[in-house]
Structure 1
Amino acid sequence: MGDQVHCYAMKTGLKLDTSVTNGLIDMYMKCGSLGSSSKLFDSIESPDVVSWSSLILGYAQFGYGEEALKLFEKMISSGVVPNQVTFIGVLTACSHVGLVEEGVNLYNTMKTDHGVAPTREHCSCVVDLLSRAGRINEAEAFVNQMEFEADIVIWKTLLAACTKYNNPEVGKRAAENILKIDPSNSAAHVLLCNIYASDNSWKDVARVRSLMKQRKVKKTPGQSWIELKESIHVFVSEDSLHSERDKIYLMLEELWLPMLDIVQSETSFINDLWCG
């Protein structure tokens, strides 16, 4: 729809001002069309802070951390003063490419060097930055010294990292804080069970599961959707309610069988090489 509006504006000869172009850049970025966003950005004679920030944030969110950091450097060298959104994008970029020290340094110099006061969103980015790098204890220490009260997003970020890097002690505290905010949070219960299980604390596993039953907490099933011919099709895990489920499963079976044959033939080939 946004693409059609853009085309209509161009066909009718409307000259897009910077604010409208910024809206299009943001729209294309959020839809994953990075190329269109970049072309629009290049068409602006004097990009403002919104132009730069939209592009930086988009690249960072889609995993192009190095490109986002290069854009930030160009932005600073061009004399444009960054804002809060800019730093969310830059910190996200540092997180995705593993530049921990650089990200922490940027956070620490936001106010002194650029006059931008950190918000809870920036703190969340730093927690994500440290957590992704496996620096769990540092992430928890950062949360404890924040001037903002940690929200559920921050605690979930820390909890997920604890599960990945097997840190049951911090994970327990993170999960407990999530359940204080949202006692019916299914993800926190499940991850807490997994942490106790990895630590062989089976009594605690039973206690959490019993608590889930008491609170009638159920794990939210996975869900995905796709848009085809202006119609949205929703698929839920272990669901058979789709009107065309028979055709879908038939097609999946037709795809699955050749894939299975390929896997078996490759396995046989590797075994022959090994035995030979």
Structure 2
Amino acid sequence: MAAEIIRIPCLQDNYAWVLHDAESRITLCVDVPDADPVLAALTSRGWLLTDILLTHHHDDHIQGVEALKAATGAKVTGAATDAHRLPALDRSVQPGDSFTLGALSIEVLDAPGHTLGHIAYYIPAAKAAFTGDSLMAFGCGRLFEGTAAQMWQTLSRLKALPGETLIYSGHEYSLSNARFALTIEPSNPTLAARAREIEAARAAGEPTLPVLLSTECSTNPFLRVSEPAIRATLGLPSASDAEVFAEIRARKDRF
């Protein structure tokens, strides 16, 4: 398919993502931190928004939904379990569901940890996963509601997607995440090289997302908990993967 996906900076460090499929005339926005920049991007391209997909209930991902819906008439999709704390939903979905928008087949993935009702959206034809605040570049979301075990299961689920999948996460956190990653796996040359690229990109004011899942698998310590070098650094050579993940997450919280 020939879908186009654009990045829309919002607030301080959030991104909204808009996917446009010219053939089926489907245009969807994943999360709406702020309606105005999304509307500006749509207007400049002459796109009519048809759908809004929500990953979780935090204000910095949903506070622009009502204004954007009012301006466009787009239908809102979100997790049924979080319907009580999301804007009014036109489509309620559960993890494991799939639905179609035009020619797009969209899979709903369970992604708890950051929040209990967090979901992600995988669109195989676009080779795209919209992960909100679950999997991020070099990192993962802070555990506000869920447990380390839940987040580890979420990351394991996302890690199992095809390596050519592009990860579209909700924040521009790559620079701080890369600096932390180097404290966990300082001897990883691929990580060191990528961290230098991120430093240069951010110094030039350039975005760092989306990122290939295969790149994350080679540089994101939260996906690399089975690596002997990481376990040695943490002093956890025989711990379970979930225990190693929990230690990395705890260190990131203190970083």
TM-score computed with the length of structure 1 as normaliser: 0.30
Which protein is richer in helix relative to its size?
Answer: 1
Q: Which entry has the higher C-alpha Rg, 1 or 2?
A: 1
Which protein is richer in strand relative to its size?
Answer: 2
